[in-house]
């Protein structure tokens, strides 16, 4: 009996050591001084047939410009927070995306923009909501993080603080785009034009009311620190005062060096209700999910069944890039210090 017990103990030790070795073997490590950045420009009903070749090229070029701007910061030894900011600034300044210059209109015919940024090392975060005079909302979110004891400021209070720190303010007319106004009129029934849903084209302009054009970025700098940021105009025809998932830390934006950094895009109410970004991080940390498994579970098993649609980008603690979406497409790109890079817009290719 004693021999049998000893044999069982020995077998358990062998199995335990084998499992430990296997786990260590499959866990990758970040290469010294390696860095990476991944971005998105929105998800939703994004299909190749909805875009002219000129439109596809315009989006591809702007995504490339944004990823290059963030990468340049990292390449020079800059911090991940600055890289995230640089990439998002490019997309906020472009009318192609639903952030900054291209922000959509609420039910009152005004823009109300939200943004957030988070440091994965300290878990410090800053966010703003419901602003309409800040040219680059992500810069104001950074001010809240760096220069206040708060996480989230909204409306007039956020704008007063941003202005006091020299953030560029603009008249609300700066954010006007005819495309976004047409979207609002169409949704509110003020436009009688019949829309061909196989093309989504009116006057050769993409009427992308089935695209969530929120922009976001996640970066890892040479020190291994992760940062995540997101900026959005919200939903077309949203109620005055509505706040989505973007400025809610843990919902649309999250960064933690122990796991990953995430930026989300989609129907924000469902990302809030599932605390989506933090849930992905928790599945990795506590359930030992791979990043790919965690993204898939949250998007398809939690958000999807509720009726939510969208996508997320992720950069893990090893500097590896992941993305997933339960919509037909997502504007996305990444660039890594090992020389690999990619820009994609439509169906998944990997």
- Residue pLDDT, tens place only, 288-336: 999 999 999 999 999 999 999 999 999 999 999 999 999 999 999 999 9
Q: Residue 5 above 60 pLDDT?
A: no
Which of 165, 189, 191 is closest to 178 using CA atoms?
191
Question: What pLDDT, on a 0 to 100 scale, did the predictor assign at position 203?
Answer: 33
Radius of gyration of the chain (CA): 21
Q: How far apart are CA 233 and CA 330, in angstroms?
A: 17
How confident is the prediction for the chain on average, in pLDDT?
86
Evaluate if residue 91 carries a pLDDT over 60: yes
Catalytic residue among 122, 177, 214, 290: 214
Report pLDDT digits (tens) over 151-175: 999 999 999 999 999 999 999 888 8
pLDDT of 139 higher than 60: yes
Contact 144, 169 (CB under 8 A): no
Fold of the 37-344 domain: 3.60.20
Per-residue confidence (pLDDT) for residue 197, from 0 to 100: 37
Catalytic residue status for 122: no
Kindly state the average pLDDT of the residues 228-234. 94
How far, in Å, CA of 13 to CA of 10, rounded?
A: 5
What mean pLDDT comes out for the span 59-66?
97
| pLDDT value at 150 more than 90 | yes
Name 218's Cβ contacts closer than 8 Å, sequence gap at least 6. Answer: 37, 38, 39, 84, 226, 227, 228, 229, 255, 260, 261, 262, 263, 313, 314, 315
| Pairing relationship of beta strands 125-131 and 152-154 according to DSSP bridges | parallel
Q: Which range, of 45-59, 61-75, 169-183, averages the lowest pLDDT?
A: 169-183
Where is the binding site for substrate, in residues? 242-245, 265-268
**Confidence at 66, pLDDT banded by 50, 70, 90:** very high
């Amino acid at each position: 009996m004693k021999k049998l017990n000893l044999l069982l103990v020995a077998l358990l030790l062998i199995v335990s050591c084998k499992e430990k070795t296997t786990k260590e073997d499959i866990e990758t490590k970040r290469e010294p001084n390696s860095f990476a950045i991944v971005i998105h420009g929105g998800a939703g009903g994004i299909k190749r047939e909805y875009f002219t070749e000129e439109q596809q090229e315009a989006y591809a070029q702007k995504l490339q410009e944004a990823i290059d701007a963030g990468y340049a910061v990292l390449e020079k030894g800059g911090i991940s927070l600055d890289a995230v900011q640089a990439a998002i600034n490019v997309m906020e300044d472009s009318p192609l995306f639903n952030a900054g210059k291209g922000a959509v209109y609420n039910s009152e015919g005004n823009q109300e923009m939200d943004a957030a940024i988070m440091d994965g090392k300290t878990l410090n975060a800053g966010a703003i909501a419901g602003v309409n005079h800040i040219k680059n909302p992500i810069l104001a979110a950074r001010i809240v993080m760096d220069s206040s004891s708060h996480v989230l400021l909204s409306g007039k209070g956020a704008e007063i603080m941003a202005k006091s720190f020299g953030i560029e303010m603009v008249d609300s007319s700066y954010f006007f785009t005819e495309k976004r106004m047409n979207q609002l009129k169409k949704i509110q029934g003020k436009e009688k034009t019949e829309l061909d849903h196989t093309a989504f084209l009116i006057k050769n302009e993409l009427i992308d009311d089935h695209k969530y054009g929120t922009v976001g970025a996640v970066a890892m700098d040479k020190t291994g620190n992760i940062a995540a940021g997101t900026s959005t105009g919200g939903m077309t025809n949203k109620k005055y005062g509505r706040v989505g998932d973007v400025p809610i830390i843990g919902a649309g934006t999250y960064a933690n060096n122990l796991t990953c950094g995430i930026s989300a895009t989609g129907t924000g109410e469902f990302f809030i209700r599932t605390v989506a970004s933090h849930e992905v991080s928790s599945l990795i940390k506590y359930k030992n999910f791979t990043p790919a498994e965690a993204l898939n579970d949250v998007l398809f098993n939690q958000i999807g069944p509720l009726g939510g649609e969208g996508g997320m980008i992720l950069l893990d603690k090893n500097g590896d890039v992941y993305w997933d979406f339960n919509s037909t497409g997502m504007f996305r790109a990444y660039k890594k210090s090992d020389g690999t890079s990619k820009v994609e817009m439509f169906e998944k290719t990997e």
